[in-house]
Amino acid sequence: MDDLRPIDAIAFDLDGTLVDSAPDISHALNTALANARLKSCDLAAVRSWVGDGPDVLIARALSEQGIADANADLRARLRRDFDLATLAAPLKYGAVYSGIAELVAGLRGVLPMAVITNKPTALARAVLEAAQLLRSMAAVHGADTAALRKPDPAMLLAAIARWNLPPARVLMVGDGLVDVRAADAAGCPCALVAWGYGPGSLPAHLNPWRIETPGQLLQSLMMHAPHGRRSFSDQAAHDT
């Protein structure tokens, strides 16, 4: 994608896009593993696993320790303790990426924004609240079941339906291959950020708009924002 088409709404990924949450995810995972008397995982490994939600993260950690066939009770205990640790310290070790607060503040009241994440909704809302971004979001769509996880487009399509917009006017902004694939499946344009955890290589048929900084994204969005747009700030405050 060479440039940005006119956009009426934005769907943001969370981890690796709005916040560098890998340190917090690592802390929550290692807290759960320690409670189960299992070995901890290093941050570099956890960072490479981020993006598919906590159940997949836990499965990868178990596989790394040679217990991929762990029983359902252990997996459930690990997930419970992961969630509790996340809610206790949603963004204690990580941070909002530089420029994101300014991006969101610049768009608030101009374009409606939502978060589309493979993190469960309750955890996502806690992280967004800690990041002081929650009030700017019209909605938070989290993968509360495995079937909703990106690259399935269901959460993105739900946001599009909520806004009553054509998919081509909704921009998906993310850092991972699942974000690009979800956007492609939904018929949305996609912006792939350079500062996140990275998608690796992309299939040749996928051609997202690549952005280097939040400021670049803000400038392009404001340039393409239609004149006379009504404010969405009251809607965002009400919905969250």
193 residue type, one letter: V
Q: How many domains does the chain fold into?
A: 2
pLDDT tens by residue, the chain, 240 residues: 445 668 999 999 999 999 999 999 999 999 999 999 999 999 999 999 999 999 999 999 999 999 999 999 999 999 999 999 999 999 999 999 999 999 999 999 999 999 999 999 999 999 999 999 999 999 999 999 999 999 999 999 999 999 999 999 999 999 999 999 999 999 999 999 999 998 777 898 998 999 999 999 999 888 866 543 433 333 333 343
Q: Are residues 32 and 105 in the same domain?
A: no
- Domain interval for residue 105: 9-20+95-239
- Tell me whether residue 109 is in a domain: yes
Give pLDDT, residue 226.
57
Torsion of Cα atoms, 125 then 131 then 133 then 135, to 10° = 60
Average pLDDT, the chain: 91
Q: Are residues 164 and 115 in the same domain?
A: yes
Question: From the CB of residue 69, how many other CB atoms can be counted at a distance below 10 Å?
Answer: 7
Catalytically active residues are 13
How far is Cα 150 from Cα 16, in angstroms, rounded to an integer? 14
Please check whether residue 176 is in contact with residue 154, taking contact to mean a CB–CB distance below 8 angstroms. no
